[in-house]
Amino acid sequence: MILRHRQADAGKVNEWRRFVAVFLRVLFGGTVIFYLFVLLVDPYDIVAFSLPLDRRIVSISQRYMYPQIVRSRRYDSLVVGTSTVRLLDPQLLDKSFGTRFANLAMDSMTAWEQKTMITYFIRKVGPPKVLIVGLDVVWCDQSADRNRITFRGFPDWLYDDNQWNDYLYLFNVGTAEIAGRLVGYQLGLYPERVRYDGYEVFVLPESEYDLTRARQRIWNRRKPEAPPNVAPPSLSLDKRRALVFPALNWLDATLAKLPSSSLKILAYVPVHVAAQPWPGTHAAAVEAECKTRIAAIAGRRGATVIDWRINSVLTRNDSNYWDSLHYRVPIATRIANQLGPAVLAGRESDDGSYRLILR
Amino acid sequence: MLFQSQFYVLIFLPVAAALYYAAAGSTIVRQWVLIGASLVFYGWWDARLVVLPVAQITGTWLLALAHERYGQRAFLVAGVVLNLASLGTFKYLDFLLGIFESLSGLALPRANIVLPIGISFFSFQLISYLIDRLRGSAPIYPFRPFALFVLIYPHLIAGPIVRHNELVPQFALDPRREGVWRRIGIGLVIFAVGFAKKVLIADKLATVADPLFARADLRALDLGEAWTAVLAFTFQLFLDFSAYTEMAIGSALVFGVVLPENFRRPYLATDIRDFWRRWHISLSNFLRDYLYIPLGGSRNGPWRYVLATTGTMGLCGLWHGAGWTYVVWGLWHGIGLVTCRAWQQLNRPMPSIVGWAITLLFVMVGWVIFRSKSFGAAGSMLMSLAGAGGFGGTLQEVKLLVVAALASGLIPSAHEIKDGLLHPHPALAAGGAALAVYCLLEVGQGTPVNFIYFQF
């Protein structure tokens, strides 16, 4: 009887010992397997010993995917900015400028992130042949230094020069999922999401364009109206001095890193008039001051400034836009084609849709 | 260090446990190993802050020793004052300055001292020991196990609040004693349950509740937004805090130490007294023994009961945070407990489902006060719940709320798992570990979210 009890107890002990062993094997084994999978597939192309795969951009996590485009050294020029410049096709820009462009603009890319991307490009590739900065509201944001990144987070470890710290950040669901997609791409089960030069048509196909819905998005319950042709209210010297645009210091410092051989283009993006400061308001005066300071920086650093962010036939026309920020693909094509002649040959706009401020 | 970090799960806990069991043959060495691990765990946030718990523990122990040697109660009173002074300085100084400022009309500077993490927990445990000494019910312990009773890292930051006589005797037991594999196995599973609750549900609820409460500071929420915010926070708070407790109990079990129960599915309570028997049980017990009963309890007439209950709950609120909203939250529950008892004395029991609904609604109103930065914000949110901000909108993130409700109501408590629910089937071990691996992948995505109770 006692012997039977002892055997039963020993059986229980063994069961629990096996239970712990299974738990630990699955925990550590699973961890190692997932980590090895990510390291070998290496979706960000940073691991020294990863498999020799054709690494495509299979995720729209731009902040994670784009550094490898820079490190590939396939491109000598770059575009940075928010989604408002993502539709500029690098291949069209290449025709005008004789370059190899990568469009590294990202959704809601902050000024700090844009600066980080440019300096990363300089460190990894060298000074770009042509740099296009798509200027919009983020550069004139008075709280840019407090809001350096978006809610998406920013993997600054991918943009530093320390290759070793990258290994600490690869064991996570997001990276494992992208690695899985990359394997899917190799097997022909998953498509490339973004062309390797960063170009992606992220808006709906042109065939699905609906002007009524676009107008709703553009005006967002406001009554559509043409902006009045009035000058911004003048700000006193004290009020102008009180305005601080932290991102402009970054812009100045970044442009200062570039040699005179780099063509530097600061291009204000044509957002719809509904998304621009309304003429005559204080916001318009603040933006005018910001533009003045950007022109001064450009003058100092030998940059060209071209401005589509104005009240024009382009920005007043609802049918050019999907919403107040995003123009349609034909407009993007037009801008990409106009940019080269405007910057290189000083060609003015036929219809006043842009102004060449400084060249 | 956070329980739900990859470093803790994959490195710290295995290494600490391996060293602990390697030293298991020597009581002295294994206790020092655990003290060392606990100091590293605490100092991970800011190594300088380690000085505070160490100083409070040493000071308290020396004063208790002086009392033992010279028999003067003043030593123990001084110990209580020492711990209260520390708590008052680090946690309540600015709050007290604010009160003094509003009474005197003087403009006073603020200290803006960084709140050392876990100070409310370890200070209260030291005070409880000193009070037990005053009552003649606490012996003098050697310094090492005494320090370990406070420092042992699984409960150091956010409880469960443990009394010396629950823990110190356990430190003398060899962790390799009979049942070691069972304790480790159960500990790992309980940890995995807490890990999943925190990472997969509570942190997701935070992304729903936080923006809505922030929005409520700017404008009135519509009905759908308000109910979404309050339900999300209600479940988040429980799942976050109980997850911490489970990870604490699970970690401690790996070291062969049993921490007390802290939650028993509180949102199933059918009256508010029942709720407090299920919610933050270790704090409830502490308050009962060291405040409510000394204040008169329920055996000295109805008015004394009312005073003892509301006074205890008001101080319970203040323990949570240096702000009047916390005090009012505590008083709200005090009034609820008094009303509940009065109703029960009428002997007119209400149907359980009605009692449950009233209790949950009462608790949720309390959480609004608890969560809000000001009474204005709390009032605005409560008005929105009643439809003052418009009857539009629908409940958002319904799937997540349903999952959270099911998890709150169905997942057994840590001690229910420990005391017999779990059987040593390999499939359960594999499932628990696979869940933990997924949670590890999930937390690798960004900065881990702190536990709500870390701020208390």
CA neighbor of A327 nearest in space, from A312, A340, A305: A312
- Given a cut of 60, whether residue B299 has pLDDT beyond it is yes
> How close B186 comes to chain A (CA, Å)?
9
Say what the pLDDT of residue A358 is.
78
CA terminus-to-terminus distance, chain A: 100
Q: Which residue has the tokens 């680090």?
A: B90
Among A143-147, A167-171, B14-18, name the most confident range: B14-18
Distance in Å from the first CA to the final CA of chain B: 16
Distance from the B200 Cα atom to the nearest Cα atom in chain A, whole angstroms = 12
**pLDDT tens sequence across B205-248:** 999 999 998 888 878 888 899 999 999 999 999 999 999 999 99
Choose, from B320, B333, B423, B425, the residue flagged as catalytic: B320
- Are the beta carbons of B315 and B349 closer than 8 angstroms? no
Distance CA A133, CA A114 (A): 8
> From chain B, which residues contact A within 8 Å (Cβ)?
6, 9-10, 181-182, 184-185, 188-189, 424-426, 428-430, 432-434, 436-438, 440-446
Average pLDDT for A158-170: 90
For residues B381-409, average pLDDT: 89
Which residue in the set B430, B434, B441 is minimally distant from A176, CB to CB?
B441
What's the pLDDT at A152?
A: 83
pLDDT at A4 over 70: no
Confidence of residue B35 (pLDDT cuts 50, 70, 90): very high
> Distance (Å) from the C-alpha of residue B6 to the closest C-alpha of chain A?
9
> Which of A24, A30, A172 lies at the smallest CB-CB distance from B434?
A30
Q: Which of B194, B197, B201, B202 is nearest to B247 (CA)?
A: B194
Domain ranges of chain A: 62-161+197-358
Q: A23 and B432: CB-CB below 8 Å?
A: yes
ipTM of this predicted structure: 0.88
Q: How confident is the model at residue B263 (pLDDT cuts 50, 70, 90)?
A: very high
CA distance B384 to chain A (A): 24
Q: What is the band of B113 on the pLDDT scale with cuts at 50, 70, 90?
A: confident
* Contact yes or no for A12 and B182 at CB 8 A: yes
- Asked if B443's CB is within 8 angstroms of A12's CB, the reply is no
- Spatial distance between the Cα atoms of A294 and A266, rounded to a whole number of angstroms: 9
Q: Is the pLDDT of residue B22 over 70?
A: yes
pLDDT tens-digit profile of B398-445? 999 999 999 999 999 999 888 877 888 999 999 999 999 999 999 988
CA distance A206 to chain B (A): 33
Which of these ranges, A149-153, A177-181, A195-199, B358-362, has the smallest mean pLDDT?
A149-153
Q: In this structure, are residues B369 and B332 in contact, taking their beta carbons and an 8 Å threshold? A: yes
Nearest CA in chain B to A167: B444
Q: Tokens 């500990």 label which residue?
A: B187
* B184/A20 touch (CB, cutoff 8 Å), yes or no: yes
The CATH number for A62-161+197-358, chosen from 3.10.580.10, 3.40.50.1110, 3.40.50.2300, 2.102.10.10, is 3.40.50.1110
Contact A18 B182 (CB under 8 A): no
Express each pLDDT in B156-194 by its tens digit: 888 788 999 999 999 999 999 999 999 999 999 999 999
What is the reported pTM? 0.84
Whole-angstrom distance, CA of residue A280 vs CA of residue A98: 41
> pLDDT category, A90, cuts 50, 70, 90?
very high
Say which of B185, B436, B444 has its CB closest to residue A171.
B444
Q: Is A79 exposed, middle or buried (0-12, 13-18, 19+ CB in 10 A)?
A: buried
Cβ-Cβ contacts under 8 Å for B190 (sequence gap 6 or more):
B246, B247, B249, B250, B253, B414, B417, B418
Confidence of residue A6 (pLDDT cuts 50, 70, 90): low
What average pLDDT does range A76-104 have in this prediction?
96
B424–A24 CB contact, under 8 Å: no
How high is the pLDDT of residue A5?
A: 64
- pLDDT recorded at residue B448: 56
Residue B444 and residue A22: Cβ atoms within 8 Å?
A: no
Q: Please report the pLDDT score of residue B182 as a whole number.
A: 93
Determine whether B320 is an active site residue. Answer: yes
Residues of chain B found within 8 Å of residue A19, distances taken between Cβ atoms: 181, 185, 424-426, 428-429
Q: Is the pLDDT of residue A124 over 90?
A: yes
Cβ distance B181 to A16 less than 8 Å, yes or no, reads yes
DSSP label of B277: H
- Rounded-to-integer distance, Cα B359 and Cα B336, Å: 9
Instruction: Output the pLDDT for position B92.
Output: 81
